[in-house]
A = this chain, B = another copy of it.
Amino acid sequence: MKAKAAVVGLGFVGRAHVDALRRLGVTICGGLGSSPKTTASACAAVGLARAYASLEEIAADASVEVVHLCTPNFLHFQEAGQLLRAGKHVLCEKPLTLDSRESELLVALAKETQRVGGVAYNLRYYPLCQEARALIEKGAIGRPNLVHGSFLQDWLLYESDWNWRLDPKLGGSLRAVSDIGTHWLDLVTWITGRRVTDLCADLATVIPVRQRPRGRVETFQKADPSDVEQVSITTEDYASVLFHLEGDVRGVMTVSQVSAGRKARLWFEIDGSEGSLAWNSEEPNTLWIGRRNAPSQELPKDPGLMSEATRRYAAYPGGHPEGYPDTFVQLFRDFYVYVEAGDQQAARSFPTFASGHEQMALCEAIEKSAQERTWVSLGSE
């Protein structure tokens, strides 16, 4: 890859971006952390040559073509806007913004500036998720009728668990839905090629008061228990959402960050008129294909057994498991190939700002539905 990158935000997922960019041979000009002081040490720890002093400095660095935004949600809108205007392509972590007004503006701005916007819905890039989409497209399970599943975690099970996402000012007014629910919804709507038309949601804050450490806590890390304050929590630990997709496909999704033993388990099942697909992100190298009048099948992540269009997303032969870090490589390759081709009219295989905006609209509908205890229709777009 020839386009050069910078990475903003060097926490857990920022480092995943750096790792994937290196594997693609993308030159990373430098990084920016949450403060000048942390930037220097974070860049050193990750091995980045240059520690930028500010976003402005990145915006002004002519060698940088793509900027990866791995910062807390509340910063995405401002940062992405600034960078687009400075002529950078932007690959932003999810959720794209705090609300759909912001995400709509970003979609428009990217169009106006002729820059490419992507959102890191990386789970699409598990090879067998690509294959699931291809199988449905070719009719392998007939007409999709039902979609159901969940995304469960346990890292916020205890009231002593803390992360910036718990603060609505930093993460937004939704949490589990926005952080993992949009992953699930993006994935299954993309696999089935159908948008949500109606939904009805139930949200719950299972742990109403938590202990906030006064110091900073890394995602998935533990805080110092001795220096905490009690904080009322307004965002949801749990959500279940009934929904309809275009073409009267029915579905339901459950997300939780308080399910003990589920570390980060996204599972979906899609039931069609001729067969079913089921997949689970904690064992991502097998896709279950359910059959009625024949034995069900286990499709391994084996390029030799995958569709011609998707086997390129499997970097290794069957029996050689690929995982979470590999999804970023595949996503970024699609993105950079597109950027380098330079044709903004070409179809985009990666999740775009429009994908990110679609999720923001869903989040708002979910929030409204839960508040009003009623079904909500998504506007036609």
Cβ contact within 8 Å between B256 and A146:
yes
Provide 30 A-B residue pairs closer than 8 Å at the C-beta atoms, listed in order of the A residue: A19-B23, A22-B23, A22-B25, A145-B238, A146-B258, A202-B242, A204-B250, A220-B318, A252-B254, A259-B271, A260-B271, A260-B292, A261-B275, A262-B276, A262-B319, A263-B317, A263-B318, A264-B317, A281-B319, A282-B285, A282-B319, A294-B305, A295-B299, A295-B305, A316-B325, A321-B324, A322-B323, A322-B325, A323-B323, A373-B375
Given contacts A260-B274, A325-B315, contact A297 B295 (CB under 8 A): yes
Question: Nearest residue in B to A256 (C-beta to C-beta)?
Answer: B146
Cβ contact within 8 Å between A145 and B324:
no
Contact residues, A2-23 vs B (CB, 8 A): 12, 16, 19, 22-23
Cβ contact within 8 Å between A264 and B323:
no
Interface residues of A, Cβ cutoff 8 Å to B: 12, 16, 19, 22-23, 25, 47, 141, 145-146, 148, 150, 152-155, 157-158, 200, 202, 204, 206, 219-220, 222, 238, 240, 242, 244, 248, 250-252, 254, 256, 258-265, 269, 271-276, 281-285, 288-300, 302, 304-305, 315-326, 373-375
Cβ contact within 8 Å between B292 and A261:
yes
Given contacts A282-B319, A295-B298, contact A261 B242 (CB under 8 A): no
* A242 surroundings in chain B (CB, below 8 A): 200, 202, 240, 242
A312 to chain B, nearest CB (A): 13
A157, B146: Cα distance in complex, Å = 12
Cβ contact within 8 Å between A305 and B276:
no
* A155 surroundings in chain B (CB, below 8 A): 317
A381, B331: Cα distance in complex, Å = 51
- Our pick among B252, B265, B276, B322 for the contact of A259 (Cβ within 8 Å) is B276
* A304 surroundings in chain B (CB, below 8 A): 220, 222, 293
Cβ contact within 8 Å between B238 and A146:
yes
Cβ contact within 8 Å between B269 and A318:
no
